[in-house]
Structure 1
Amino acid sequence: MLGKILKKLDTAASHFEEWTLFIIVITALIALFFNVVLRYGFNYTLAWSEELVRIVIIYSTFIGASVAVKQRAMIRIDAVVQIFPRLKKGLTFYTNILMLVFAGMMIYYGYKMTHLQLLTHQKTIIMQIPLVVVYAVMPVTGLMVFLRTVQVMVQDFTSK
């Protein structure tokens, strides 16, 4: 029963991550394409497209971190593991614990930053998007990274 629920949650989270990344990157590419065509073809530029791309880079970086944890594609220094293969299990556990701590910091400080933006009602300069929307990605993806790391740890524990 619990396995089916976790599987459905994993599937839902994966679809959310993949489709969100797909849609925001395609949107940024289209905006940049039209900006380049207008700039070089008609000597006119879209100021909002650069702001949109900046927001897309922020979102894709944070959501991509969650995807990287799930796919075990996070950057690691594995020289010690190559020298001492017996330490792989312990070092993997240690890095996962550090990732949980980092995700907790993302949640905590991301919430504080998002709350501050909510109180100040700041907006982006050109598109007038409330900055709370931009900053909210940090605690949300911190939670996603935390859950993905726990998922990876459970997979490591049950596979051995």
Structure 2
Amino acid sequence: MQAHLYTRICARLSRLSLMAAVAMLIAIIVAVQVQVVGRYVFNDTPTWAEGLALQLVLYVTALGVAVGVRDAGHIGLESLVALLPDAWRMKLEVLIHALVALFGGMMTWSGWLWTRLKWDERDPMLGLPVGLDYLALVIAGVLIVLFSIEHIVALIRHEEVIPSWN
């Protein structure tokens, strides 16, 4: 059976998020290496290296959290839910995903407010807008909402969300 369009879109977003996170992790390693070599070999640490590594950590974390929601890698009480009768279990699982979606929505909204509020300030190390720090929350929040909706739809259809790394 072919996956529904929404499921295929969410799977694609999740895979792209994973690939972006891996690329950013590699960039973090390179930035830290530049920083170490600059400090100990040339006695001159480039300021952009630390700023870039810190910026990328925010985005790697945000993308990792969102993918964790889709791939059910977040903290859960599976053993407690498994003990419930089927009718109660489905209702509780839908409620859990709805609450995660609500959290993602709040994350998106507050992240957007902070992004707009801090956009005109400049990061002294990179010269980029400080609002970029908070944009990671917006991206993660939107993805969390989308992935939570995918889980709710899958539960209603009695389907399973296949992890994006499969």
Q: Could you tell me the TM-score, scaled by structure 1's length?
A: 0.83
User: Cα deviations across residues 129-157 of structure 1 (Å, max 9, x unaligned)?
Assistant: 11222222212221111000111121222
CA distance in 2, matches of 1:20, 1:36: 24
Q: How does 1:6-17 map onto structure 2 within 5 Å?
A: 6-17=6-17
Q: Which runs of 5+ in 1 are unaligned?
A: none
**Quick one: which amino acid aligns to residue 157 of structure 2?**
T
CA contact (8 A) 2:98 2:149 kept: no
1:122-141 correspondence to structure 2 within 5 Å: 122-141=121-140
Structure 2, unpaired ranges of 5+: 160-166
Structure 1 position 92, deviation (Å) = 2.0
Give the letter aligned to residue 95 of structure 1.
Answer: I
Q: Which amino acid aligns with 1:68?
A: G
Q: Which residue of 2 aligns with 1:152?
A: 151
Give CA deviations for 1:103-151 in whole Å, capped at 9, x if unaligned. Answer: 1101111111112123xx1011111111222222212221111000111
Question: 1:92 maps to which residue?
Answer: 93
| Distance in 2 of aligned mates of 1:58 and 1:73 | 19
Residues in 1 aligned to 2:8 and 2:96: alpha-carbon distance in whole angstroms: 26
- Relative contact order higher in (CA < 8 Å, ≥ 6 apart): 2
More helix by share: 1
Cα distance, 1:11 vs. partner? Answer: 4.1
1:72, distance to aligned residue in structure 2 (A): 0.5
Q: Which amino acid aligns with 2:6?
A: L
Aligned length: 155
Identity of aligned residues (%): 22
Could you state the TM-score of these two structures normalised by the residue count of structure 2?
0.81
Aligned to 1:18: 18
Deviating beyond 4 angstroms after TM superposition, the runs of 4 or more aligned structure 1 residues are none
